[in-house]
Amino acid sequence: MALYLFMKKLLHSLNRTSWIILIIVSPLLLFPTPQRSLAMLVIPLLWVLNWVVSGKPLPNTPLNPALLLLMIMVLVSLWATYDVAISLPKISGIILGVGVYFAVVLGVDQRFGFWIAALFFVGLGLGVAALGVLGINWSALAKIYPLTGLVNNLTMRLAGLPGAETGINPNQVAGALTWVLPLLLTLGGFFVWRFRFVLKTIGKFWATLTACLLIISSFIVLAIFLLSQSRSAYLGLAFILPVMVSIILPKKHRKLSWFVFIGLTLILVLGVFLVTAWDVVHVWVSDGQITTNINSFIYHRFRSFRLQIWSRAIYSIRDVPFTGMGLNTFRQVVNVVYPFPLGPSDGDIAHAHNEFLQVALDLGIPGLIAFLAVNISAYWMLISAWQHAATTPIRFDTRDVVTSNQILDVSNPTLLTRAIVLGLGGGLTAHLVYGFIDAIAIGAKPGVIFWFLLGLISGVYRKVRLSSVIRGNSL
């Protein structure tokens, strides 16, 4: 009997920490096929563990139907691909990502689980930023003139990583950081803006430590984000920041929020354009032929590169609409079957520079439908959680009697809950904007952050929904 109780307690403990185990295993994606296979084996074992403990292998979330369709299309892609070995890295990345998603959902259900998961999430962002500093080939990066002097002082110290033998792609680094930055900025802003309240609620030590960590992490991640010189990531952040500012303005300033949104968007987008093409703008102004030079700029920046790639991707989707061509095969197939008419065809085109086109290429139109359903369901959960938090406002001043347990429990309708929801939604939106003109292919190594973000969104929604049911409300 004692052995049975011990084993039962051990299984429950392992199940509670299964998401941490999975996060520890996730770096195996960086290694060759045998280690990836080990990581893939851990995931079903953890699901079986949850089945034994709770009676069901996976938690119920709004994303489950879409994820089922997505995994079915992954199986279909095994039939469609011309070489399973080529597709295996991305397949293992998707399986690991789905495993991380469910593990994070289970982890957030635990006491203070969200904050532990959020700490890991921020750690992933800092890890990507550190890899970017060490692994980007800075000598070949000279897109933005004002940053050239800073970049020239950096050297690549990591080379030969699997899939990035010549250096980590800075656009991939910046695209991954778009998932993390909005949450960091909103939480950092909250702890600074309401520092006195937080100080009296959770104590001087923890309030100061948390605020310092958030500010330092935000500074590091933002600095690497800017140094990566990714125009598409810049546009994603430039779009979402005015949206977030307009949302947090009080209702009495709702009309003002529209002017703030439009004004900040125009300023930030214009700023991104001026910074990323300062040398071109200088030529336009100096020779006086602005209209002619703008047309030439658009042609060379887009027609000669992205429009060619997008057209090749559309041709490919038209040829294999239901199955796709298989994960990770576009880079090998495009130059052979769909050669580029307006440029050299000997370059390595890793993806379609559009995440939606890339998903359709990899998993067919049904896979694209599943991907869209995942994102739409995530927004639905965010809106539901936001509405719940907004219907029962708690004033954040010194007269409020709020315990540390209440402020740290994301199921409570507090201003902190709204900041969390806003940051999670901001990260999802910023990356989607980035995904229209660039891509982190589904199943790619940085994509683990996307699945982690979805896990946080589902976890917060489940806690808020449970709290609403207990209080007799409905979402």
* Range 331-339, long-range pairs (CB < 8 A, 24+ positions): 332/86, 333/82, 334/309, 338/312
Cα 389 from chain centroid (whole Å): 23
For the stretch 324-345, pLDDT in tens is 898 988 888 887 787 766 554 4
What was the pLDDT predicted at 393?
40
Question: From CA 208, how far away is CA 204, in angstroms rounded?
Answer: 6
Tokens coding 194 = 């309401």
Determine contact, residues 370/70, Cβ cutoff 8 Å. Answer: yes
Q: Which residues, listed in sequence order, are joined to residue 168 by a DSSP beta bridge?
A: 136
Question: From CA 31, how far away is CA 87, in angstroms rounded?
Answer: 15
Question: From CA 187, how far away is CA 420, in angstroms rounded?
Answer: 7
Residue type present at position 412: N
Neighbours of 61 (CB within 10 A): 21
Tokens coding 210 = 């948390």
Residue 26 lies in a domain: yes
Question: From CA 234, how far away is CA 16, in angstroms rounded?
Answer: 38
Q: What angle do CA 414, 417, 419 make, to 5 degrees?
A: 115
Determine contact, residues 19/100, Cβ cutoff 8 Å. Answer: yes
Residue 256 lies in a domain: yes
HSE (side-chain half, CA atoms, 13 Å) at 191: 22
Instruction: Kindly give, in sequence order, each residue whose CB lies less than 8 Å from that of residue 67, ignoring residues fewer than 6 positions away.
Output: 98, 101, 370, 374
Q: What angle do CA 452, 214, 256 make, to 5 degrees?
A: 90
Q: What are the Cα distances from residue 416, in Å, to 68, 159, 203, 372, 473?
A: 33, 41, 16, 29, 20
Tokens coding 340 = 């580029």
Question: From CA 174, how far away is CA 68, in angstroms rounded?
Answer: 29
Residue 475 lies in a domain: no
| 168: phi then psi, degrees, rounded to nearest 5 | -75, 135
Determine contact, residues 35/88, Cβ cutoff 8 Å. Answer: no
Question: From CA 93, how far away is CA 99, in angstroms rounded?
Answer: 10
Question: From CA 200, how far away is CA 206, in angstroms rounded?
Answer: 10
Residue type present at position 396: F
Total domains, the chain:
1
Instruction: Name residue, tokens 């990714």.
Output: 230
Helices (H), 228-306: 231-248, 254-276, 278-287, 290-298
Low-confidence ranges of the chain (pLDDT < 70): 1-41, 47, 49-55, 111, 142-149, 159-165, 201, 249-304, 340-348, 389-414, 466-475
Collapsing DSSP to helix, strand or coil, 174 comes out as helix
Residue type present at position 96: L
What was the pLDDT predicted at 227?
87
Question: From CA 91, how far away is CA 96, in angstroms rounded?
Answer: 9
For the stretch 99-118, pLDDT in tens is 889 888 888 877 677 888 88
Residue 135 lies in a domain: yes
Question: Residue 176's domain spans which residues?
Answer: 2-470
Neighbours of 405 (CB within 10 A): 12
Q: Which residues, listed in sequence order, are joined to residue 164 by a DSSP beta bridge?
A: 161
What was the pLDDT predicted at 474?
45
Residue type present at position 102: F
What pTM was computed for the model? 0.84
